[in-house]
């Protein structure tokens, strides 16, 4: 559907390398390692590398699903559009809503440690000042908000610098870890097997944590309307990005197992990467890895802003949210109203989390509930891919595996993680996770009753769409497929 201003996002602004960098930054390698490694080790011990390995396999199924869906429907809303056009518009809207809720919560939660880490580089004592850390974190958030507002090209230039330096530091420390002489334990191939899990329950607990190391690569799909040859590039970039972060996650988790003792990891907590850095390069290594985590946090704030603003833009364009959200700036070709709304909401949440301790507790519970929303929209997208490609699945073994079995495996895994998450989370986190999704029913029903054409979709059918691409359908089917393929910028 054409947005009401008659203007769209800037096409062909990003190339393949740009999109790969965005996929890597979206998964926030240094931030994810720092924030989650100690939790993973505390849960599964030496089986951390195995958890990351066995979660990567179904996650690749979701990556394949996104890539294949992006070939037949280029849309900034990504799963919001795909799920709506294959399964049901209500599920599609809730899929997009789940992304909006989870990313908004994460932006606030991610900005707070960015402020604390910035202050710790100046004076560790300053990092304990919650008000000052929140102010610095908010400043980082506003800086990224302005970059995103400035357009896709400015966004990717900033990302190349942030992620480039982060990855250079991480690769340096991987090499240094290989040459490090001291060891708390010798590497063992069994760390990649099943023997260190405490039965099926232990495997489930590790999977629950490891699955969300990878979240964020799907920003490439939200950028599809601004990417050159996006039907190919968005999916390929996501695949390469997940491969890169998988190698980084495995390398650092193994390095932590080898170099640090369980006591070191437990004491390090969210600062375990700094502890590892000091063990490898005393006096300097810790600070360098704190810089890497800071850059990673800021970089993923930017990709998260891209995801939420592009999703809201697609919703505004489709009249499933206020139409003003579909407005595009005449100079920067960015959804400036969506950016302004997200910025305002986030700043209110910053102020509330600082002023009221109880709100801070609610925010912490909300962060734990993010997994519910992620598993929900990833799982639905996996099923949507199978439904959209159902007519092609039996044409070859390749189509059957890559278009059917693997995406379905990924979807079932995500839905299993969703059920497991509901059982593991506190009552407050479950209420926020499920309640956050339920809140989407209000705008969904309102705009459905107003007659938004989103709720009368042209169904996605890969067989017809791909045949139309090659000119192999008759005039009736070709017209249907062209409507399926069209995205008016």
Distance CA 294, CA 483 (A): 44
Nearest to 56 by CA among 247, 316, 252: 247
Kindly state whether residues 320 and 408 are assigned to the same domain: yes
Q: Are 314 and 100 in contact (CB under 8 A)?
A: no
**Rounded (5°) CA angle 299-262-43:** 70
Longest dimension (CA), the chain: 71
Kindly state whether residues 384 and 475 are assigned to the same domain: no
pLDDT attached to residue 7: 62
**pLDDT category of residue 92 using cuts at 50, 70 and 90:** very high
The average pLDDT across 161-170 equals 96
pLDDT attached to residue 283: 85
pLDDT attached to residue 417: 84
Kindly state whether residues 364 and 472 are assigned to the same domain: no
User: Quick check: is 8 in a domain?
Assistant: no
Q: Are 314 and 96 in contact (CB under 8 A)?
A: yes
User: Quick check: is 7 in a domain?
Assistant: no
The average pLDDT across 288-309 equals 94
Q: Which of 35-44, 199-208, 246-255 has the highest mean pLDDT?
A: 246-255
pLDDT attached to residue 199: 79
For residue 171, pLDDT beyond 60? yes
H helices, E strands: number in the chain = 21, 0
- Helix ranges, 123-229 (H): 130-149, 152-179, 199-210, 219-222
Residue 3 or residue 152, greater confidence: 152
Kindly state whether residues 409 and 475 are assigned to the same domain: no
Q: What is the mean pLDDT of the chain?
A: 88
- State the angle between helix axes of 285-317 and 152-179 in degrees (0 to 180), rounded to the nearest 10: 150
What's the number of domains the chain is made of? 2
**pTM of this structure:** 0.90
Kindly state whether residues 32 and 58 are assigned to the same domain: yes
Kindly state whether residues 343 and 403 are assigned to the same domain: yes
pLDDT attached to residue 146: 95
Kindly state whether residues 388 and 485 are assigned to the same domain: no
User: Quick check: is 474 in a domain?
Assistant: yes
The CATH number that applies at residue 297 is 1.20.1740.10
By residue range, what is the domain housing residue 482? 458-489
pLDDT attached to residue 454: 96
Kindly state whether residues 171 and 68 are assigned to the same domain: yes
User: Quick check: is 308 in a domain?
Assistant: yes
User: Quick check: is 381 in a domain?
Assistant: yes
User: Quick check: is 4 in a domain?
Assistant: no
pLDDT attached to residue 341: 96
């Amino acid at each position: 559907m054409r947005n009401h201003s008659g203007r769209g996002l800037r096409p062909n602004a990003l190339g393949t390398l740009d999109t790969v960098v965005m996929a890597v930054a979206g998964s926030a390698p240094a931030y994810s390692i720092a924030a989650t490694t100690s939790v993973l080790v505390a849960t599964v011990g030496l089986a951390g590398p195995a958890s990351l390995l066995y979660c990567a396999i179904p996650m690749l199924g979701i990556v394949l699903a996104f890539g294949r869906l992006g070939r037949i429907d280029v849309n900034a809303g990504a799963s919001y559009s795909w799920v709506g056009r294959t399964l049901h518009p209500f599920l599609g809207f809730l899929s997009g809503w789940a992304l909006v809720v989870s990313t908004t919560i994460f932006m606030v939660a991610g900005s707070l440690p960015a402020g604390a880490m910035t202050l710790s580089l100046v004076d560790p004592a300053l990092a304990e000042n919650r008000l000052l850390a929140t102010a610095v974190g908010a400043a980082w958030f506003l800086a990224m908000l302005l970059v995103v507002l400035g357009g896709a090209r400015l966004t990717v230039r900033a990302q190349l610098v942030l992620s480039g330096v982060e990855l250079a530091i991480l690769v340096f420390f991987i090499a240094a870890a290989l040459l490090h002489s001291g060891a708390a334990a010798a590497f063992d191939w069994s760390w990649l097997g099943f023997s260190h899990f405490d039965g099926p329950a232990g495997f489930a607990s590790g999977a629950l944590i490891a699955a969300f190391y990878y979240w964020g690569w799907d920003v490439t799909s939200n950028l599809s309307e601004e990417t050159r040859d996006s039907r190919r590039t968005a999916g390929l970039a996501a695949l390469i990005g997940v491969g890169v972060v998988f190698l980084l996650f495995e390398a650092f988790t193994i390095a932590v197992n080898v170099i640090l003792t369980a006591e070191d990891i437990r004491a390090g907590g969210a600062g375990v990467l700094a502890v590892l850095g000091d063990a490898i390069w005393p006096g300097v290594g810790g600070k360098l890895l704190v810089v890497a985590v800071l850059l990673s946090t800021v970089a993923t704030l930017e990709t998260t802003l891209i995801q939420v603003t592009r999703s809201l833009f697609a919703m505004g364009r489709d009249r499933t949210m206020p139409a003003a959200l579909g407005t595009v700036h005449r100079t920067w070709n960015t959804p400036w109203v969506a950016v302004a709304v997200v910025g305002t909401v986030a700043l209110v949440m910053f102020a509330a989390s600082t002023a009221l301790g109880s709100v801070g507790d609610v925010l912490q519970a909300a962060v734990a509930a993010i997994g519910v929303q992620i598993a929900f929209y990833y799982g639905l997208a996996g099923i949507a891919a199978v439904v959209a490609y159902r007519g092609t699945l039996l044409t070859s073994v390749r189509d059957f595996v890559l278009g059917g079995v693997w995406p379905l495996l990924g979807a079932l895994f995500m839905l299993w993680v969703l059920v497991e998450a509901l059982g593991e989370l506190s009552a407050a986190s479950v209420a926020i996770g499920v309640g956050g999704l339920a809140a989407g029913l209000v705008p969904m029903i309102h705009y459905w009753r107003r007659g938004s054409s989103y709720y009368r979709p042209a169904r996605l059918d890969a067989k017809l769409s791909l045949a139309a691409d090659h000119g192999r359908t008759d005039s009736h089917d070709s017209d249907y497929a062209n409507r399926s393929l069209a995205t008016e910028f």
